[in-house]
A = this chain, B = another copy of it.
Amino acid sequence: MLLKAMNWMDVERYLQQDDRIVIITGACEQHGYVSLLSDILAPLEIAKQACRQENVLIAPPLPFGISPYFAAYPGTLSLRPETFAVLLREIIEGLMAQGFKRVLVSNGHGGNTGILIPLLVEIGNAHPQARLALFQWWLHPTVDAIAQEAGLPQHHANWSENFTFTRVGAVPDADKELVVVPRGVSAAITRSLLGDGSYGGPYQAADQIMERFFAAAVQAMVGAIREL
């Protein structure tokens, strides 16, 4: 149910019997050894499965988010928070003008959350008939429970973002000690503290953990779609 696999007539037919759409946001930013687009690839793969199951449309993912902290890592592309806000506002308002009434934003990047929440609320305040919600797969209790049970806390660019579809090369065997980066420090300081970009912990987990982890995320998203 990706827009890229549809023409407008398909969307018109869809709107005759449904009014839901999923918008994927994320980032193009350093993720240590895994893909720069991990924050798009993860919610996209999850959404593909969840939305196929629930027959829901997926808008083209916006591949840029708010990532100034990682600007010193080449390949990180960051928008100003105000630009991200205006862009999302126009996309969502445009969807509503076409008849979409229930919008689930599936966000893959924690740095976007603080803008997305007020944005969704403002749009909801202006469109009382709309239903807008935010889904963030990695924070969902049933997803995090898999990590907890396995004794593997989630951290940026550690095992929890290392899926078959985000992997772009080998990762170190040894675990990395946890790194604490004070909030608000510059990109240069962040890089000097973080080194390879991971916040610590193992760089990968067993395949079966990743499968359960991913499956839990899909199920959590199915739930979020049904609650729309």
**Chain A residues in the interface with B (C-beta under 8 A):** 3-12, 14-15, 28, 30-37, 40-41, 59-64, 66, 68-69, 71, 73-83, 85-87, 90-91, 94-95, 97-99, 105, 111, 113-122, 124-125, 128, 130, 132-134, 168-169, 182-190, 196-197
Also in contact, A64 and B35, with CB within 8 A (given A76-B8, A118-B81, A124-B185): no
A125 touches B68 (CB 8 A): yes
A3 touches B184 (CB 8 A): no
Picked from B9, B87, B130, B133, the residue with its CB within 8 Å of the CB of A182 is B133
B184 touches A105 (CB 8 A): yes
Tell me how many chains of this kind the complex includes: 6
* 4 other A-B residue contacts (CB within 8 Å) besides A6-B75, A79-B90, A83-B86: A7-B32, A7-B34, A61-B63, A68-B125
B74 touches A8 (CB 8 A): yes
B8 touches A197 (CB 8 A): yes
Instruction: List the B side residues contacting A12 at CB < 8 Å.
Output: 73-75
B75 touches A64 (CB 8 A): no
Please, could you name 24 A-B residue pairs with CB atoms under 8 Å apart, sorted by A?
A3-B28, A4-B35, A6-B35, A7-B36, A8-B30, A10-B169, A11-B36, A12-B75, A61-B63, A66-B118, A71-B97, A71-B125, A76-B98, A81-B115, A82-B82, A83-B86, A120-B184, A121-B184, A124-B187, A125-B188, A130-B186, A132-B184, A132-B185, A133-B184
